[in-house]
Amino acid sequence: MTHDAVDALLEKEVQRLALTGYNAPRMRTLLLAVTDAARARKFLANLLDAQLLAFGARGTARGLDCGINIGFTHQGLRALGAPASVLVAFRDKSPAFAEGADVRAARHLGDAGESAAERWDAVFHHDRAHAWIAIHGNDAATLDEAVRRLRQLRGADGLAGWEPAAALPDGQQLRDDQDPRATRVHFGLRDGITRPSILDRQRLLGRPGPDGQAFRPRPGELLLGYPNNDGADLWTAGKTPDDVAHFLRHGSFGVLRKLEQHECRLQRYLDGKAAELRAAGHAFVTPTWLKAKMVGRWPNGAPVLPGETEEPPAPDAARLAQVDFEQDREGLGCPFGAHMRRANPRTDPLMPQRDRTLFRRGIPYGAVGDDEVGLFGLFFCARIDDQFEHLVSEWLEKNPMGPPNRGRAKDPLVGRHDEPQAQFLIPLPGGRQIALDGFEAFVRTRGTLYALFPSRRALETLAAGATLRNPTHAHAARPAHQPSTVPDAGPGPEPIDAPNDRFCDLVMEGGITSGVIYASAVVELARHYRFRSIGGSSIGAFAAALAAAAEYRRRHGSGDGFDRLAKLPQELAREEDGRTRLERVFVPQHSTRRLFGIFLATLERSGPVSQVVHGLAAALWQYRRLVAGLTIVLAAIVLAGPIQTALQCWSGPAAAPCLWPLVSWTAAALLALGTGAFAALVAGICWDVHRGLVRNGFGLCRGWDPEAPVDSPDLAAFLHYAIQAVAGRGLHDKPLTFRDLWDAPGAADKALGFEVHGTGARSINLEVYASNLAHGRPYRFPLDETEDMGRLFFRVEELENYFPRGLVQYLAALSNPYAARSEADPPADTVRPGFLELPVADLPIVVAARLAMSFPLLISAVPLYAVEHGARRMGRCWMSDGGLCSNFPIHLFDSFLPMWPTFGISLETRDENNREAVRLPAFHTSGRADTWDHGPETRPWQLAGFLGSLWRTTWRWNDSTMMRMPGVRDRVVRLYLTEGEGGVNIRMPPDRIRRLGTTYGTPAARAFIEKFQSVGWQEHRWVRLNCLLVSVRERIRNFGVAARMNRHAVPLLDQIEAAKTKAPLSKPGRRSRSLPSETPLEPGQAAELQALLAALCDLEQTFLQAGDSEPYRAVPRSSLRIRHPT
């Protein structure tokens, strides 16, 4: 391609803002939402026809003294109806662009705290920002005229957000007081010093320069479809179809980042530190010198040279751009952690090569003295993740690179300083240094947007609503004809990390094998959130324990636990001797092996008839010896008569009269033999149920064999091994306990700066459910130490039948023998020795997970003991599956108003009318419809279906009701499994296990991430607040009347007054110890009750005076009621 041809192509196809930018003093930014795709495409077509878009290095809007350019977010392209193959290409090649800036802000940009995406300006929310129109001109009047012209175009009404109230403030260049030709930012620093460009023919064509080396940057750093600095075309090479490649080529990604600059905060910091340093003997230190060291340049733009203590005269433009760190190897001029040395290391010999060219087009906003001032950062590149995000997350937000004396603070000027003690080091001659710490955040992110600025050709395709060829075969098409040396390998897996101040809670529904789903969901969520509270029942409890173990390991500096968790589906799918690891963890005892064989035979069958037939066949095979033996005996007895009769008939003169007796005897014999075989089968099954199932803890698989080695594939050993491995511990290491989780570093209260008490002080809070069949209620582990009726005990010799011996011995060493806590407890000397109390904090989490995971009849219940106060003795409690009482405890971590989201994952059965695999309600009104359970329609199975519906209603009514409630349904993702997926099907083939591990979990987590790292989290908190107000209003009504009631009652104020001299509550005579309110109140206690009672009465009046205009209507309406804490 000739030089002139390349120039002509760029002038025609590339939008000016991306190619060169503008020197105009003002900029207006419009972020618009597509409300009507057809009308919006019409607008785009008219925009092109009117020649209002600026292309090339010098383009302007026709008839206007300004430049107009347009870009689209991935959401905007989808809303506009972009070709499916193009959207697929972006998803595969640029996950950053496809996910959007708000989703990736915390993990990849360090935006947390006051810069968190949830606190961004509303116009940046992904569902409101589809199109980005940038207008550059000389004054506000010109910009106003440009907006007026745009709104007059046909189709403009297909876009929302034109109103001035929805617009961002205008960008406006700030002129330097000493040099009017120079511009500066609000921090008082010179701006626009370096602007890399690709407009060089040698660079454009990838040819070497005079010194034999290729010039940088090459066009592929800015434009899609060209080789980058590594010689690779990452966009249109490889298997990219021609039509997709043509759409992408000449486009560029634009990043809009609104940064509020706290100028006063920065100046206050500099003044304070300069005063401290001068008092410490550094007389040369001034605020200007400190600012220059933090930035790497003096305010006038001059590079800081070794030994300089005062700002030199401003150099010419050529000298400004000539910065060479080769002459500053010790950082005596520009420190290693300075902003300039981080953002553009140039030829720094001490840094590893970090060539990430960004094409900056920024401009300040706000006038001096305004309440809010800052900078619009406009950055253009060809790879958002590898260029923009990498620069921010790796160069600005991490420790500076270089020798050991570099310090460990983030970028001193624009970093998010969440470690006040981190130091920025300023080297001085002679090996001395100055350490700065106590940094505040001088910059706050108010919003970020990722957009594609398409080429003219791509814009024409969008405007026409054209569909590219073969959109579903994007990965099988032939390569595009464009120079390239390295094909795109696609993005690698993201590191499993998350900001240390972004938390979530997670609740997972119970089940058995369907828990394979949870591994990928937990891993994907972990990339964006840190887990504060995790809980569940049954298999959800085991998944919660694994998630807690992985989070524990991450809090200690390693994400390998989540990597290990991600491999769990593959591990469970691994086959040995034709059986998967999932099947091999269910090992029956000898006494239950025949019943287990019948159970296995019913799995992987197409329907009830097939299950019955195969189950009966398996039963006959399992009890074949018993059935055969009894049949032979009965045959000998029953057939003796017919045989004798037959012999007599055959030996007599007339056989005919004997025929009918022989036939009747034979029929009776066959009937007797069939009955006998059936009776033998029933007797054998009843024997195994009584002698095997019942004595095995009412389960086919106890989960452990005391004779097995510690690395046995049995269930308890697998649970223990998996939790220890994920936590980074070995089988013989100390088991991971609840106390370990509670004391892990990185607690939410420390990261967010608030005070907590009780369970809120736990760094990682794991809670799981088990069902106490003796008490008929759920138990939540860890047990509540304040609940004196919730103590549980165990016997070592019994627990060793359920857990590895070493684990039980560890547990026994930390457990106390039974002791009476109250007068209602039997004295210790009346209780048989050997009862040890189950610890609370020091309980290994694998024990809690196994107690919660005792699916009835399949996995044995675990025997524990509790004080039977009526009989004053120890009574046995069978601990069974937590899902019996609460299979989906979505309420587990609820508060009146959440500080972070609590996500729930629910497992549903997919019906014939639903093709969705994953569904998360998008709006606050979505998801309130009931789930239907029609049952079988065929007559033979209707009764069975009816009985099944009775059981499911009894079992799930609370969970089903909760999932319909506002403030709950919008944070529960439903995973719809097909027949044969999950359930009790422990014989799933390997490919199905792997499919479960990938098809459901990751999309479920991404649905949460996309919704709750944008406007969804604000909407959820809005719903929760209003639901709370509705419930409180309902319950507080007539509170004052009830408190003052004097008919057949004593007013509460009078009761409180009387309680100062007489105990308000009676005490049983046999008990010597007094509980609160069983003695007269102290004056402080009475005053507390009076104040709180008055506050509640005032609250009722506040609700009455505020009115009830229903700013939100909760359907169904929630209610505050007294409820047990479980």
pLDDT average per 10 residues of sequence, the chain (1126 residues): 68 94 94 95 96 94 95 95 91 90 85 86 85 96 96 95 87 81 85 72 40 59 88 78 90 96 93 94 94 90 89 78 73 86 67 67 89 94 90 70 60 76 85 88 94 96 72 33 32 60 93 90 94 95 96 90 94 91 92 90 80 85 82 71 67 57 66 76 88 92 83 86 94 93 90 80 94 92 71 95 93 93 86 94 96 93 92 92 90 92 92 82 84 71 79 80 89 90 87 90 92 85 92 92 92 94 87 86 94 95 91 86 76
- Identify whether residues 296 and 399 lie together within a single domain: yes
- What distances in angstroms separate CA 556 from CA 566, 728, 741, one per listed residue? 19, 10, 11
- Identify whether residues 455 and 439 lie together within a single domain: no
From the candidates 85, 115, 533, 538, give the one annotated as an active-site residue.
538
Round to whole Å and give the CA distance between 32 and 26. Answer: 20
Round to whole Å and give the CA distance between 196 and 208. Answer: 18
538 given a catalytic annotation: yes
Pick the last residue of a domain from 968, 994, 1027.
1027
- Identify whether residues 404 and 283 lie together within a single domain: yes
Asked if the structure places residue 717 within a domain, the reply is no
- Identify whether residues 55 and 122 lie together within a single domain: yes
Instruction: Identify the residue whose tokens are 């105009």.
Output: 24
Q: Which residues contact 226 (CB under 8 A, 6 or more apart)?
A: 204, 218, 219, 220, 233, 249, 382, 482, 483
Task: Give the chain's end-to-end CA distance (angstroms, integer).
Answer: 73
- The DSSP 8-state label assigned to residue 313 in this structure reads P
Element (H, E) at 534: strand 530-537
DSSP states of 481-493: SS--SS----PPP
From the candidates 191, 411, 488, 881, give the one annotated as an active-site residue.
881
Asked if the structure places residue 1109 within a domain, the reply is yes
Asked if the structure places residue 787 within a domain, the reply is no
3-state class (DSSP) for residue 974: strand
Please count the CA atoms within 13 angstroms of the CA of 217 that sit on its side-chain side: 25
Among candidates 711, 683, 707, which has minimal Cα distance to 589?
Answer: 707
> Are the C-beta atoms of 783 and 840 separated by less than 8 Å?
yes
- Identify whether residues 992 and 1055 lie together within a single domain: no
Element (H, E) at 45: helix 37-49
- Identify whether residues 43 and 58 lie together within a single domain: yes
Position 610 scores a pLDDT of 83
Pick the last residue of a domain from 436, 464, 492.
464
Asked if the structure places residue 564 within a domain, the reply is no
Round to whole Å and give the CA distance between 468 and 1064. Answer: 81
- Identify whether residues 91 and 237 lie together within a single domain: yes
Asked if the structure places residue 1090 within a domain, the reply is yes
> Are the C-beta atoms of 173 and 25 separated by less than 8 Å?
yes
Position 478 scores a pLDDT of 30
| pTM greater than 0.85 (yes/no) | no
1022-1045 as b/e, with b when 16 or more CB fall inside 10 Å? ebbebbbbbbeeeebeebbeebee
Element (H, E) at 679: helix 659-688
Asked if the structure places residue 574 within a domain, the reply is no
Pick the last residue of a domain from 676, 701, 726.
701
> Are the C-beta atoms of 595 and 615 separated by less than 8 Å?
no
φ/ψ bin of 1038: left (φ > 0), alpha (ψ from -120 to 50), beta (otherwise): left
Round to whole Å and give the CA distance between 528 and 562. Answer: 13
Rounded to an integer, what is the distance from CA 1020 to the centroid of its chain? 16
The number of distinct structural domains making up the chain is 5
Round to whole Å and give the CA distance between 95 and 493. Answer: 11
Find residue 32's DSSP bridge partners.
131
User: What six digits make up the tokens of 514?
Assistant: 């369907």
**Amino acid code (one letter) for 718:** F
- Identify whether residues 244 and 380 lie together within a single domain: no
3-state class (DSSP) for residue 515: helix
220-236 as b/e, with b when 16 or more CB fall inside 10 Å? bbbbbbbbbbeebbbbb
User: What six digits make up the tokens of 1003?
Assistant: 């999309």
Position 961 scores a pLDDT of 86
- Identify whether residues 1005 and 1050 lie together within a single domain: no
Pairing mode, strands 530-537 and 503-508: parallel
Position 355 scores a pLDDT of 59
- Identify whether residues 15 and 161 lie together within a single domain: yes
Position 1069 scores a pLDDT of 75
Position 406 scores a pLDDT of 57
Cα-atom radius of gyration of the chain, to the nearest Å? Answer: 37
Strands of 514-624, DSSP E: 530-537, 575-576, 579-580
Where in the sequence is the domain holding 636, given as residue range(s)? 584-701
3-state class (DSSP) for residue 713: coil
* The length of the chain, given as a count of residues: 1126
Helix (DSSP H) and strand (DSSP E) numbers for the chain: 40, 30
* Dihedral of the alpha carbons of 484, 487, 493, 497, in degrees to the nearest 10: -10
Strands of 250-352, DSSP E: 252-261
> Are the C-beta atoms of 1045 and 1055 separated by less than 8 Å?
no
- Identify whether residues 235 and 293 lie together within a single domain: no
Asked if the structure places residue 965 within a domain, the reply is yes
177 given a catalytic annotation: no
- Identify whether residues 53 and 13 lie together within a single domain: yes
Asked if the structure places residue 507 within a domain, the reply is no
